[in-house]
């Protein structure tokens, strides 16, 4: 069973746009956090594709990955994830083939099948490809082929991309991608930071159904978890209220920039809304270093995760840096097998 000291830790950054701030500030903060994460020993730094979200600056995900990779030197950089049904596989192969050519050995391609936005924006993104989510398995296989060496008679090639074998991950918040990752022999990441209910069953299905492949010989499961660390439990809980407000507003259909923390959420949500938000963030670990250590150790024991990717929507950039610094101090990064 892995322990905190033997487990690799990574970061997922949603490039939060702050109330009163803008995307330029958010992307500057993203690069600054990535440079700190590299120094602190995190294994990888991922950004995610979301659209029409006033609080998230990483819509052009491949561009942000290039921004981060160009400003760092050793940490792996990738997508957590690219929503593949929004794009043609060839375009993604060319984008990530370009990134891999610029930053060899450092690029990850995590793929999801959700739109990363609302239905109206999904239509604006996909146009005539509205059935593309149903083609997700075929599109993943097509994308894999673009990274293989050229085959005799092959007429469509990804240039750059061909022969580069960019590592592909499947991401999910339900059971579908777990089973597909197992069938294709790919590493798998579950979005426990916002949809924790199916995480244990997804990992079970993934491990039990895994078929070794040229990409991966044994199953490798990563858990996405919210982590909010501060000097005291009370301080961490206050920082966490920014994320609670963000989820609440999103569930109300009113997404906003990331709001400053508040002393209490009392009076800001109904009883039903409180239950909904807390259920979505049930696996989030919030507290002092001792509390975070205890919470993470219990999560690792419960899930058997091979890697943790932590995220935190914290309004104050210095406080966000400190939170991830505390996390790094609890789990020094080991060497070893790196999917």
At 245-282, the pLDDT tens digits run: 999 999 999 999 999 999 999 999 999 999 999 999 99
Domain-located, residue 263 = yes
Confidence at 154, pLDDT banded by 50, 70, 90? confident
- Distance of alpha carbon 270 from alpha carbon 311, whole angstroms: 26
Residues with Cβ within 8 Å of 233's Cβ and at least 6 positions away in sequence, in order, are 286, 287, 288, 291
**Whether residue 303 has pLDDT greater than 50:** yes
Tell me which residue range forms the domain holding 145.
Answer: 9-330
Domain-located, residue 20 = yes
Domain-located, residue 338 = no
Pair 10, 301: CB distance under 8 Å: no
β-bridge mates for residue 110, sequence order: 169
CATH number, domain containing residue 261: 3.20.20.30
Domain-located, residue 339 = no
Pair 59, 51: CB distance under 8 Å: yes
Per-residue pLDDT reduced to its tens digit, 198-239: 999 999 999 999 999 999 999 999 999 999 999 999 999 999
Domain-located, residue 4 = no
Tally of structural domains, the chain: 1
- Structure tokens, 148: 């293989």
Confidence at 122, pLDDT banded by 50, 70, 90? confident
Q: In whole angstroms, how far apart are CA 27 and each of 16, 213, 222, 318?
A: 8, 36, 25, 15
Q: What average pLDDT does the segment 47-74 reach?
A: 96
Please report which helix (H) or strand (E) contains residue 46, including its range. strand 44-47
How high is the pLDDT of residue 4? 74
Q: What average pLDDT does the segment 301-319 reach?
A: 97
Pair 76, 106: CB distance under 8 Å: yes
80: exposed, middle or buried (Cβ count in 10 Å: 0-12, 13-18, 19+) = buried
């Amino acid at each position: 069973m892995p322990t905190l000291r033997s487990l690799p830790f990574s970061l997922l950054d949603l490039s939060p746009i702050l109330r009163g701030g803008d995307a330029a500030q958010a992307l500057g903060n993203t690069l600054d956090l990535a440079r700190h994460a590299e120094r602190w020993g995190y294994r990888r730094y991922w950004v995610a594709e979301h659209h029409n979200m006033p609080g998230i600056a990483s819509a052009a995900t491949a561009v942000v990955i290039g921004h981060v990779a160009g400003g760092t030197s050793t940490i792996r950089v990738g997508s957590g994830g690219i929503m593949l049904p929004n794009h043609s596989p060839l375009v993604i192969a060319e984008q990530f083939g370009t990134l891999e050519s610029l930053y060899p050995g450092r690029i990850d391609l995590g793929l999801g099948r959700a739109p990363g936005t609302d239905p109206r924006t999904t239509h604006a993104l996909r146009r005539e490809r509205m059935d593309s989510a149903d083609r997700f398995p075929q599109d993943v296989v097509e994308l894999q082929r673009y990274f293989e060496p050229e085959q005799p008679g092959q007429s469509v090639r990804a240039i750059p991309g061909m022969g580069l074998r960019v590592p592909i991950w499947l991401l999910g918040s339900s059971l579908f991608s777990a089973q597909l990752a197992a069938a294709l022999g790919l590493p798998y990441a579950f979005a426990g930071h916002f949809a924790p209910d199916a995480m244990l069953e997804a990992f079970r299905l993934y491990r039990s159904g895994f078929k070794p492949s040229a990409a991966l010989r044994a199953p490798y499961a990563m858990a996405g978890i919210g982590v909010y660390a501060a000097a005291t439990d009370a301080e961490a809980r206050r920082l966490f209220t920014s994320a609670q407000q963000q989820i609440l507003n999103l569930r109300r259909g009113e997404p906003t920039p990331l709001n400053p923390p508040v002393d209490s959420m009392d009076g800001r949500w109904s009883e039903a809304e409180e239950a909904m938000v807390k259920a979505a963030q049930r696996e989030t670990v919030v507290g002092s270093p001792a509390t975070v250590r205890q919470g993470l150790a219990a999560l690792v024991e419960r899930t058997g995760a091979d890697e943790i990717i932590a995220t935190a929507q914290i309004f104050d950039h210095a406080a966000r840096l400190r939170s991830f610094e505390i996390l790094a101090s609890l789990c020094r990064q080991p060497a070893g097998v790196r999917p």
